[in-house]
Amino acid sequence: MSALSTEDITVGTTTFASLGVPAPLVAVLASSGITAPFPIQAATLPDALAGRDILGRAQTGSGKTLGFSLPLVAKLAGGHTMACRPRGLVLVPTRELAAQVQGVITPLAHAAGLKVAAIFGGTSQNPQVAALRGRADIVVACPGRLADLIEQGHCHLGDVEIAVLDEADHMADLGFLPVVRRLLDATPPQGQRLLFSATLDGAVDVIARRFLTRPARHSVDADSRPPEITHHLITVTPADRTDVIAALASGEGRVLIFTRTKHGARRLARQLAQAGTPVVELHGNLTQGARTRNLAAFTSGEVRAMVATDIAARGIHVDGIDLVVHADPPAEHKAYTHRSGRTARGGAEGTVVTLQTPAQVSEVRTLMRKAGVSAQASTASPGSAILRSIAGPPAKRSRRAAPAARRTSLQALPAEQSGGGAAAASASFRGRRGRR
C-alpha cells in the first residue's frame, strides 16, 4: 500500500467522487489503491474544489498533500500556461518535501494534461529553468531557490490562480516567512490560497490573516486516533552514550536516531559504523545526491538505522519506523513531538527513547512536562537488559546493497529535507537562513 493510504483513517463510506473530485483523478487514485478519503481530505476537498480559501490544521502525515493536490489539478485542467508563468504554486519548506509533493501531483497532472516542476536548491538550476520555459503548469518550490529564479527573470508569478503553503509552521521555524510573504505578494490577490500547518499561532496566523480571504477553517486533530507510542527515558553516562545507541540500533526494526546538530549526526554515524552498525546519515552538510541516496536506502530497508538532525522530524513518509531515539534531547517540546511522530504511523505501534546524561536531568524533565509525556525511566549501560527488550532480537549483519532508484508515483518518495540550499534567497527576497 502507498504511504498516503496507510497514514490516515478512512472516513466511513465517503468517496472521492462524492466529494466532487473529477472522474479522471478518481481513476488515478484508484490505480494506486487509494479509494476512500481520510479526515483532512474529506474535510477540505468540498470547499477547496468550490474555490474557497482553506486554512487547515493537521499534523504531518495526515494526508493533506492529496487535500490540496486534487483541487489544484482540477482547477487548472484545460487552461493555458505561458512559458515561465506557472498557474499553480505549492510552497514547501524542504527539498525532500518538494520531491515528495511533486511525486504525488505528477500522476494526477498527467491525467489532466498538465506538467509539474520541482524547484529547490542544492542542485543545478538549469533543468528547473528548462522546465519553467517548457510551460510547467504547476511549480512545487522551496522559497529560496524560487526567489532566486524570479530575480534572474526565469519565473513570474503573475498568472498563479491557486497557491498552496504547506507546512507553514515549519516554514516559520526555518525563517522562511519573509520570503514567503514576498512570493505570495507576487501572486494575484484574487487567486485561491490554501494554507496547511500543524499549528496556527504566531507568524502563521499573521500570514493567514494577510493572504487568505474568508477561509474555510478545518482541523482534524480531534478526530484522529492518538498514536500508540511507548516512551522511555534512559539515563546514561557520556562515556556509554554511543554504545547504548549502538545497542538500541542492533535489532531487526527500523531505527531513526536524532541529534541536535549536523556535526553531531556525522560524528555519531561514523562512531556507529565503526562499532559495526550499518547506518546512513541525513543532515545539511550532505550533498543533495547523498541525502537522496541515504534516505532511499533507509526507506527501502537496505539500511535499518539513520542518524539525522531535525530536518527528518517533519514529513518524511517512511513506513515502519519501529524506534525513534533522541540521542540528543531536543531543544524544545514541539521538536520532541515532531521527532517522535516519525514512529507509530498508520495505526502501528512505536517506541521512543530519550537519552539523557545526569547533567541533563532537569532540562529533560521540563521538556517532558511541556510535551505532556510520561516516560518509563531507567538507567542503562551498554549491556543492560532494558536495551535488548527495546531493540528486540539482534539483526543478522549483511552487506549494504546499492540504494534503490527513486520512485515517481503516488507512493512515498524521499521526503522532507532541510532548506539548506532553499534558503539561499537573494537580495529583496532573502529571509533568515535555515540550515540544520
CATH of the domain at 298: 3.40.50.300
Residue 154 and residue 286 share a domain: no
Instruction: Give the chain's largest Cα–Cα span.
Output: 65
Question: Helix crossing, 64-76 with 39-49: angle to 10°?
Answer: 20
Q: What is the number of H-type helices and E-type strands within the chain?
A: 16, 14
Residue 361 domain-assigned (yes or no): yes
Phi, psi of 369 (to 5 degrees): -65, -45
Burial class for 402, CB neighbours closer than 10 Å (0-12, 13-18, 19+): exposed
**What is the model's pLDDT at position 57?**
87
**What is the model's pLDDT at position 73?**
98
**Residue 49 vs residues 21, 22, 276, 360: alpha-carbon distances, Å:** 8, 10, 53, 50
Residue 181 and residue 297 share a domain: no
Residue 292 and residue 358 share a domain: yes
Contact 235, 361 (CB under 8 A): yes
Q: Please, how many CA atoms are within 13 Å of residue 59, restricted to the half-sphere of its CB? A: 22
Residue 253 and residue 201 share a domain: no
Tell me the residue ranges of DSSP E strands in 236-331.
254-258, 280-282, 305-308, 321-326
**Residue 216 vs residues 61, 63, 169, 192, 386: alpha-carbon distances, Å:** 21, 18, 19, 12, 48
Residue 419 and residue 377 share a domain: no
**What is the model's pLDDT at position 281?**
94
Q: Identify the CA nearest to 434 among candidates 206, 173, 124.
A: 173
Residue 195 and residue 342 share a domain: no
**What is the model's pLDDT at position 227?**
62
Residue 397 domain-assigned (yes or no): no
Residue 276 and residue 195 share a domain: no
Residue 299 and residue 207 share a domain: no
Query: H or E segment at 372?
Result: none
- Which residues partner with 351 through β-bridges? 230, 323
**Grid cell in block for residue 340:** 517522535
**Grid cell in block for residue 36:** 476512500
Burial class for 77, CB neighbours closer than 10 Å (0-12, 13-18, 19+): middle
What's the whole-model pTM score?
0.72
How many Å apart are CA 390 and CA 377, to the nearest integer? 13
Question: In terms of residue numbers, what domain contains 382?
Answer: 228-391
**What is the model's pLDDT at position 400?**
43
Residue 289 and residue 241 share a domain: yes
**Residue 122 vs residues 147, 165, 436: alpha-carbon distances, Å:** 14, 21, 14
Residue 296 domain-assigned (yes or no): yes
Q: How many CB atoms lie within 10 A of CB 178?
A: 15
Tens-binned pLDDT, residue by residue, of the chain (436 aa): 233 333 333 445 789 999 999 999 999 999 999 988 988 999 999 999 999 999 998 766 678 899 999 999 999 999 999 999 999 999 999 888 898 899 999 999 999 999 999 999 988 999 999 999 999 999 999 999 999 999 999 999 999 999 999 988 888 888 899 999 999 999 999 999 999 987 777 788 899 999 999 999 998 754 444 568 899 999 999 999 999 999 999 999 999 999 999 999 999 999 999 988 999 999 888 887 888 899 889 988 999 999 999 877 765 667 789 999 999 999 888 889 888 888 877 667 899 999 999 999 999 999 999 989 999 999 999 999 999 999 998 887 644 433 333 333 343 333 333 333 333 333 333 343 344 4
Residue 65 and residue 39 share a domain: yes
How many Å apart are CA 167 and CA 170, to the nearest integer? 5
Residue 169 domain-assigned (yes or no): yes
How many Å apart are CA 280 and CA 303, to the nearest integer? 7
Q: Please, how many CA atoms are within 13 Å of residue 64, restricted to the half-sphere of its CB? A: 28
**What is the model's pLDDT at position 430?**
37
Residue 96 domain-assigned (yes or no): yes
Q: Into how many domains does the chain fold? A: 2
